[in-house]
Amino acid sequence: MGAYILRRVLLMIPTLFGIMAVSFIVIQFAPGGPVEQVIARMSGEGGGAMDRISGGGGEMNQSFENHSQYRGAQGLDPAFIAQLEQQFGFDKPPLERFFTMIWNYIRFDFGESYFRDISVIDLIIEKMPVSISLGLWLTLISYLISIPLGIRKAVKDGSAFDVWTSGIVIIGYAIPGFLFAILLMVLFAGGSFFDWFPLRGLTSENWSELSWPERILDYFWHLTLPLTAMVLGAFATTTLLTKNSFLDEIRKQYVVTARAKGLSERQVLYGHVFRNAMLIIIAGFPGAFISAFFTGSLLIENIFSLDGLGLLGFRSVLDRDYAVVFATLYIFSLIGLFVSLLSDLVYTWIDPRIDFERRDV
C-alpha cells in the first residue's frame, strides 16, 4: 500500500501542473483583464468589485505589445498604463509569469486579491463557512434520503413503488438545481405567491441580537430554500447506487444460505447484506462531500446571494481577479486529488480484500 500511495502522490504533481498550465493558456486568449477592468472603471464603462487597485503580485492574463491595444486605453498616459501592467505583473513574459505563479503556489504564497484589500487565502477562509454549511447539510440530508430509499427500492425491485420512485428520482436528477431554486423563490420567497422565506444570506441582520435558540431557527430558516433546491437533484445518484449495490448482494449465494438457515428477511438484510452493500456507499462519502462543497453550490449561492466560495469564484471571474481565480483553482484541484486518494484508502480500510498494490495506477 505504501508504494501505491507514493505513486499516487507523485502522479499528482504532473496532474496539477497540467491543470494550471491549460488554465493559464486559456486565460491568455480571454478578452479583458484587470488592466482593462481598471480602464473601463475609470471611463465609467465597466463595473466589478474594484474598490482598490492591488499592488499584490499578478501573474495572469494576456500581455500586449502596445498599450493602445487595451480597449478604451486611447488617450490615457502610456506611463500610467505601464504602471498598471507592472502593478499587476503583466510587464513580464507569459512563461515567466506562469513559473513565478507555480513557484509561489508550491510555497502556498497566493498573494493578494487584485481588487480587494485582503490576501487571497484570508479571503477564501472568510467565505468558506457558508460553503461548508451547504456542503455538510447537503451531503447529510441526501444520504439520509438516499440510503433508506435505495434499500427500499432494492427490496421492492420491480414493484409499483420502485417504478414510481425511479421516475421521481430521474426527474429530480434531470432538472438542474438552479431551476428548482428559481421555482422555490417564485413560490415561497415573495414572488407571485407566498413570502415565507428570505431571499439572501444565511442569517438575518439582527442575528447578533437573537438568543441561541432563535439563532438556530433563523439559520435554518435562511437555509431551507437553497438546501431544498440542492437536495432535490443530489440524492439521485446515491439512491440508484444504493439500490444496485443491495441488489448485487441480495442475489449472492451467502444470502440464499442465510435464508435456508431460517433467518428472517430483516435479519438477512440488515445482518448480512447491509454491511457488505454499504461498503461502496461509505467509501464514496469523502468524494461526495467534496463534490457538494466545491461544485454543487456555485449557482445556488449566486441565486440566493450566499457569500460563499461559489459566489466568490463567480465574481472573481467577472472582475478578472485572476489572483483569486487561479489560487482557488490550485487549492481545490489539490484537495480534489488528495480526496480521490483518500477515497481509495477508505475502500481498503472498509474492505481489506481490495488491494490496489496489484493494480496499475
* pLDDT tens-place string over residues 315-339: 888 888 888 888 988 988 888 888 8
The DSSP secondary-structure symbol of 203 reads S
Q: Would residue 190 be called left, alpha or beta, if left means φ above 0 and alpha means ψ between -120 and 50 degrees?
A: left
User: Tens digits of per-residue pLDDT, 97-110?
Assistant: 889 899 999 988 88
Mean pLDDT over all residues of the chain?
78
Q: Which helix (H) or strand (E) is 271 found in, with range?
A: none
pLDDT higher than threshold 50 for residue 195: yes
Q: pTM to 2 decimals? A: 0.72
User: What pLDDT score does 74 carry?
Assistant: 55
Handedness of CA 88, 90, 94, 95 (dihedral sign): negative
Q: What's the pLDDT score for residue 64?
A: 35
C-alpha of 318 from chain center: 18
The answer to whether 292 and 139 have CB atoms below 8 angstroms apart is: yes
Q: Please give the Cα distance from 183 to 297 (Å, whole number).
A: 17
Print burial letters for 231-260: b (CB count within 10 Å at least 16), e (below 16).
bbbbbbbbbbbbbbbbbebbeeeebeebee
Name the 3-class secondary structure at 112: strand
Residue type at position 177:
G
DSSP-assigned letters across all residues of 9-65: HHHHHHHHHHHHHHHHHHHHTSS--HHHHHHHHHHTS--SS-S----S----S---S
DSSP state of 307: -
Cell 486568449: give the residue. 29
Through-space distance between the first and last CA atoms of the chain, rounded to whole angstroms: 12
**Run of H or E residues at 196:** none
pLDDT of residue 296: 56
Per-residue pLDDT, averaged over 244-250, amounts to 88
pLDDT of residue 351: 64
Cell numbers describing residue 169: 428520482
Backbone angles phi, psi at 295, to 5 degrees: -115, -25
Q: φ, ψ for residue 195 (rounded to 5)?
A: -125, 65
Contact assessment for residue 9 and residue 341, using Cβ atoms and an 8 Å cutoff: yes
Q: Is 137 exposed, middle or buried (0-12, 13-18, 19+ CB in 10 A)?
A: middle
Closest by Cα among 21, 5, 16, 120 to 334: 16
One-letter amino acid at 146 equals S
pLDDT tens readout for residues 4-34: 788 888 888 999 999 999 988 888 777 667 6
Q: Which of 153-157, 186-190, 279-283 has the lowest mean pLDDT?
A: 279-283
For 336-345, the CB contacts below 8 A with 24+ separation are: 336/290, 336/294, 337/12, 337/15, 337/16, 338/12, 339/286, 339/287, 339/290, 340/287, 341/5, 341/8, 341/9, 342/286, 343/283, 343/284, 343/286, 343/287, 344/8, 345/5
Burial-class residue 103 by CB neighbours within 10 Å (0-12, 13-18, 19+): exposed
In whole angstroms, give the CA distance from residue 179 to residue 185. 10
Looking at the chain, how many residues does it have? Answer: 361
Q: Tell the burial category of 172 from Cβ atoms under 10 Å away from its Cβ (0-12, 13-18, 19+).
A: middle
CA atoms within 13 A on the CB side of 59: 25
Question: With 80 as the cut, is the pLDDT of residue 253 above it?
Answer: yes
What span, in angstroms and rounded, lies between the C-alpha atoms of 243 and 160? 15
